[in-house]
Structure 1
């Protein structure tokens, strides 16, 4: 197990933390693997009654590791991490064995499918893939001054970590489209107002832990049954939705416009895109 994600269980509450504070908990393949593995392990632990998901340091999660994007743009083609990313992403529509998700999606979906309630505590930044991880939780408590964004459009891409299904479910179609089409930054206060977050708290982790302890004090069988029923009422053909996310991302990745989006960002200039043929 990598140290990218830490987990400690106390009195039925699992404290799970993204643990790359020097990188604002930016996501790399090792982090995806750790999130999926830890989530799976906790799912099968009957002593765990609730989970708090947060990030160490100054942010919840700033999204994908920029080194991977630099590699995609050709700026770090020989970087070991970038090469590993490209190898694992060759067939992005490939599912994890026996699952409806690929690895990146499973790092998010594992929190929704696990039987125990998951409370995300969001501070600092939750951008792109980082926001999608928070969306995998059942409840999101955010700092009022947190910064959240569906950032994928910056890179000429689409949300591909189960985010399209979660955004529609939480905010409604029009708001989900506005956030996705623009990638605009919103505060924790606005996130709560539009349904992207459950509520705000000055200390999200303390508030999330208090809530998780309250949940853990209730009948675990009833809590698990309630989560199963509520998820069932909200989910519609997720397997096909997740495949379509991956398919669309695969069609975009590496195209001239997508590479131009990345290069323009790193070169600090406006992108120049070509029109579709």
Structure 2
């Protein structure tokens, strides 16, 4: 059975976890499918991506039974092997979405635990339903977060919050997650809200949106002010006067929606 479905409509990719009977728990096959979906979208011309899960939960974490078999073999070799640039396959489940060159929006509902939480952290924006519960769950199993969480959490929240989440493995509700910066907003229907936001983004200049994601990544990387300012200038110089920018200006002046087709 397919673990992940990718649908593309109006330049928006809808990526859905499809293991509802297991609350979309991540087994090795799902890890591979999530990474494959992200890699394909890295090469596509989509303008925004929405991540969601079927059924009662976004993703309830790792499939413990399937990974118990994995642990009985030789996990160290697979964990330590950098199979995807600077990550292993499990870390790439989250990190591949940072590599996707367009904005990624996660629509969260129900359990967003462990692997699911770290997958959500890989998105640019997280929209949660009121029923969402988020947890760094690894400590429950005598482990530490190892799927990109420690690379991504410090950019979102305070050190003491990260420590509390990690040490206790206790789930937090959507309102607390919003207060702590773990989610962007709360919506009655997070998937509908995510798709609406994706449509707003997809209507903007594709070149400028991709440039903005690159620029924000530089700003978040910890480099010095000089390098950030240079990156601003470099990205802007590559946009000014180009077809996408000229179409955006023309559309604004004419009071119409821009049409970027054939204007790359």
In the TM superposition, 1:62-73 aligns within 5 A as: 62-68=60-66, 71=68
The answer to whether the aligner puts 1:103 opposite 2:89 as a matched pair is yes
Unaligned runs of 5+ in 1: 72-81, 238-277
Superposition deviation, residue 85 in structure 1: 7.9
Q: Give the match's secondary structure for 2:156.
A: helix
TM-score of the aligned structures, taking structure 2 as reference length? 0.81
Match of 1:174 in 2: 160
Superposition deviation, residue 231 in structure 1: 1.1
Structure number with the bigger relative contact order (C-alpha 8 A, sep ≥ 6) is 1
Match of 1:92 among 57, 76, 79: 79
Distance in 2 (CA, whole Å) between partners of 1:145 and 1:25 is 16
Superposition deviation, residue 88 in structure 1: 6.0
Match of 2:197 among 202, 211, 229: 211
- After superposition, give the CA deviation of every residue in 1:133-164 in whole Å (9 maximum; x if it has no partner): 00000000001221110011101111101101
Superposition deviation, residue 225 in structure 1: 0.4
Equivalent pair of 2:78/2:88 in contact (CA under 8 Å): no
Distance in 1 (CA, whole Å) between partners of 2:98 and 2:195 is 18
Distance in 1 (CA, whole Å) between partners of 2:121 and 2:133 is 14
Equivalent pair of 2:14/2:49 in contact (CA under 8 Å): yes
Distance in 1 (CA, whole Å) between partners of 2:9 and 2:102 is 15
Change over 3 Å in CA distance of 1:86–1:31 after alignment to 2: farther
The answer to whether the aligner puts 1:142 opposite 2:128 as a matched pair is yes
Match of 1:55 in 2: 53
Match of 2:173 in 1: 187
Moved over 6 A (4+): none
Distance in 2 (CA, whole Å) between partners of 1:128 and 1:158 is 10
Distance in 2 (CA, whole Å) between partners of 1:137 and 1:173 is 20
Match of 1:155 among 137, 141, 155: 141
Equivalent pair of 1:29/1:85 in contact (CA under 8 Å): no
Superposition deviation, residue 181 in structure 1: 1.0
Change over 3 Å in CA distance of 1:100–1:154 after alignment to 2: same
Superposition deviation, residue 169 in structure 1: 1.0
Q: Report the count of equivalent residues.
A: 223
Superposition deviation, residue 236 in structure 1: 4.7
In the TM superposition, 1:112-127 aligns within 5 A as: 112-127=98-113
Distance in 2 (CA, whole Å) between partners of 1:162 and 1:219 is 30
Superposition deviation, residue 86 in structure 1: 3.7
Match of 2:114 in 1: 128
Q: Give the match's secondary structure for 2:107.
A: strand
